[in-house]
Structure 1
């Protein structure tokens, strides 16, 4: 994934990971996402979700 203005993007495309993860969160199917973004592949969606899961593994420290 590359960065676009500080945002992680799908393999060099100008499609932020957050857009794909947001669509999944709002109930879009893989088929619908691929129809909306014809340059994407199913593996791109998988990698976006894996990246989002990885981000949530950070430890949260409270003061």
Structure 2
């Protein structure tokens, strides 16, 4: 997960959800705003402390997560 250096996890911040650089903005918020049709420039104007690289990495992280395959544990 080295490539996701802007995505942080902390149980004390947003309940441990993946956040951008440890701030109180989650990957889910970014993905939701993009899905709702907001442009990167609009998101940056709404959240001036974000950088374009933050949004790009949030989208990359979300894409990576949906491609994961969960394997059930076999009962002994």
* C-alpha RMSD of matched pairs (Å): 1.5
1:30 to 19, 40, 45: 40
The unaligned stretches of length 5 or more in structure 2 are 1-6
CA drift of 1:7 comes to 0.3
CA drift of 1:6 comes to 2.0
Aligned residues: 62
Displaced runs of 4+ in structure 1, greater than 6 A? none
Select the structure of larger CA radius of gyration: 2
Give a deviation string over 1:8-35, Cα, whole Å, max 9, x none: 0001211111000000001000010000
The unaligned stretches of length 5 or more in structure 1 are none
More strand by share: 1
